Structure 1
Amino acid sequence: MRRSLAAVATLLLAVALAGCGNDSEAAEEDSGTLRIGYQRFGGLSLIKARGDAPGVTWSLFESGPALTEALKAGAIDLGQTGEAPPIFAAAAKTDFVIAGVGAPSPRSEAVLVKESKGFRTFADLKGKTVALNKGSNVHWLLVKLLEANKMTLQDINVKYLKPAEGRPAFDNDQVDAWIIWDPYFALAEQPGVKVLADATGLANNREYILVGKNAAGQKTDQIKSFLQTYEKTTAWGIEHPDERAAVLAPELKIDEPTTKRALARAAQPVDKLDGIGDEIQAIADGFADLKLIPGKVDVKSLVDTRFAEAAP
């Protein structure tokens, strides 16, 4: 168990460092090469692990908010996040469009608690400390859980922690609950850890593909071609779950059984953009109503369907 926890801590530290500093590729001047930002567990990581997109450069990020910061700085052209980071990025005046989306994956984010604490429902967390990554997909899950349980943000003590900070805080009982997504979710499923709730019936938890506005105009055909690869590789992974886990486990630096368990609930096919504007706008309005972003933002207008057209 000690060796396992040490390995997890090493992984989380490595991801945190990658997310903070990215890699040297992201710092290079844009030379026309498509620059991709990815997280270890999103659909893009399978493309990287399989080598399905030669000629692109890759930059690793710990979370969606870190990735959108790089998008705002012009360090990457394209990246994948959950449903909340695009909203926080739009509120921060980041220039981007939404070029693709995955099917719902509500079971791949959850509220984790220690069984020894005796919590039976989310409502039992009233007055307790709940950790999560600010501006990530789990932020919207928190909003919906509070709403479903007739609670407000004032009913809990929210502690904003990145994944690399959240795991040790959770393990050492510095927080009462941790809201987290896969693969961190799967890694934390140790004996004595209980899933209090997931996003089923509350949040779709989709994967969003974001493209910087400059890249959208200057590298349109490259992006179209890459997104076709994204759809094909994603479909291959769903059809070949065992092979997918075998390919991704070394990339993720996670053992294969844990990788399989997480992928079984997280990996979803590419979805159509139809109706996505209304869905993400409703989320943005929810964040604005709670004053979690400075004011109303128009994210519906950021949905860009041109990349669904066939590349020449």
Structure 2
Amino acid sequence: MRRRLTVVFGVLALLGSLTTACGGGEETEAGAAQLKIGYQRFGGQSLVKAKGEAADAQWSLFESGPALTEALKAGAIDIGQTGEAPPIFAAAAQTDFKIIATSEPVPQGEAVLVKEKSGYKSFKDLKGKKVALNKGSNVNWLLVKLLEANGMKIEDIQVQYLKPAEARPAFDNDQVDAWIIWDPYFSLAQYEGVQVLADATGLANNREYLLVSPKALEEKGDLIREYVKSYREVTDWGIANPDERVKLIAPELKLEEPVAARALERSAKALAPVTPAIGDEIQEIADGFAALGLIPAKVDIKSRIDDRFTDLLQ
């Protein structure tokens, strides 16, 4: 079973590392504007795609949030969904975007995984050990909060910045002692002999954020409004119909249904509007990254909040 899940994970990561497009160019054959959507192989956007909504859009797949924000900076996509850290790293890299929606908190959707045979009982046991994570992703903030909660500094562990496709074999082969990861990679890695040392409960909200380029807001505002409306409706449908959701999305995610169900049960949350409080929350994360030198200087991420779609998200 472990070997089979490793193979599945490899396929998932390989597919996620590629940018694939569904549809033509930026315009349809009729000459109408076309929305370019960046998505990761999980979250509400995958369900929107699996359900056949926004079928006229150009869909591009990314392995992680940082890769998606690079495409946003390059103009390859108009809109995309990430965790809480990628927007901050993107802002520090001078990427222009607005945050138009968020999600309810998903603290159970990211965790520190270790092998049961290691005997580790708390995060403090990882002092001096190798800990893998994807730099600039939501788990980067979870690491900061774990260190803070345990009275540790980043120098107390050996951080290994690895993408999911690199971290999984390193974890499987005991080349790292722990792996901080998010769903669905988290769910895939929960094979026999793996334990959850800690998740983000009480430490980080681990929200999703919907980012859009200002140019797209200006030129494709109606398409974006229609998409946000569909995104909200499909997400609500999935939460109300979990069994149908799993059957629909498992093939899209390239996951077996039990694995997809486990991830969705803890990580699929409703969309929510961006509010001043949300702005304060993500600004706190940005300030924390700046204080630790994880980004080169402070960024005003709160000013990226754009609440024009609040009416669709309440």
Interval containing the TM-score (normalised by the shorter chain):
over 0.9
Q: Separation in 1 of the partners of 2:144 and 2:98?
A: 25
Q: Separation in 2 of the partners of 1:278 and 1:87?
A: 13
Aligned to 2:139: 138
Structure 2 residue 231 is the aligned partner of structure 1 residue 230: yes
State the AA in 1 paired with 2:270: P
Q: 1:302 aligns with which of 304, 308, 311?
A: 304
State the AA in 1 paired with 2:90: A
What does 1:1-312 align with in structure 2 at a 5 Å threshold?
Answer: 1=1, 2-16=3-17, 18=18, 22-24=19-21, 28=25, 32-274=33-275, 275-309=277-311
Say if 1:90 and 1:297, in contact at 8 Å, map to a contact too: yes
Q: Separation in 1 of the partners of 2:268 and 2:109?
A: 9
Q: TM-score, normalised by structure 2?
A: 0.95
Q: How far did residue 234 of structure 1 move?
A: 0.4
Say if 2:273 and 2:307, in contact at 8 Å, map to a contact too: no
State the AA in 1 paired with 2:100: A
Q: Separation in 2 of the partners of 1:30 and 1:286?
A: 41
CA displacement, residues 97-147 of structure 1 (integer Å, 9 cap, x when unaligned): 001000000001000000111100000000000000000000000000000
Say if 2:38 and 2:77, in contact at 8 Å, map to a contact too: yes
Q: How far did residue 12 of structure 1 move?
A: 2.1
SS at structure 2 position matched to 1:79: strand
SS at structure 2 position matched to 1:258: helix
Q: Separation in 1 of the partners of 2:247 and 2:159?
A: 37
Q: How far did residue 213 of structure 1 move?
A: 1.3
Q: Separation in 2 of the partners of 1:96 and 1:286?
A: 21
State the AA in 1 paired with 2:241: H
Q: Separation in 2 of the partners of 1:273 and 1:116?
A: 43
State the AA in 2 paired with 1:67: L
Q: TM-score, normalised by structure 1?
A: 0.95
Say if 2:132 and 2:178, in contact at 8 Å, map to a contact too: yes
State the AA in 2 paired with 1:114: K
Structure 2 vs 1, CA of residues 156 and 174 (structure 1 numbering), >3 Å: closer, same or farther? same
Structure 2 vs 1, CA of residues 130 and 27 (structure 1 numbering), >3 Å: closer, same or farther? farther
Runs of 4+ in 1 over 3 A off after TM superposition: 24-31
Say if 1:26 and 1:76, in contact at 8 Å, map to a contact too: no
Say if 1:223 and 1:307, in contact at 8 Å, map to a contact too: no
State the AA in 1 paired with 2:289: F
State the AA in 1 paired with 2:154: L
Q: How far did residue 306 of structure 1 move?
A: 1.3
Q: Separation in 2 of the partners of 1:80 and 1:55?
A: 18
Structure 2 vs 1, CA of residues 29 and 237 (structure 1 numbering), >3 Å: closer, same or farther? closer
SS at structure 1 position matched to 2:229: helix
Structure 2 vs 1, CA of residues 309 and 272 (structure 1 numbering), >3 Å: closer, same or farther? closer
Q: Separation in 1 of the partners of 2:91 and 2:23?
A: 21
State the AA in 2 paired with 1:196: L
Using the aligned pairs only, state the percent identity: 63
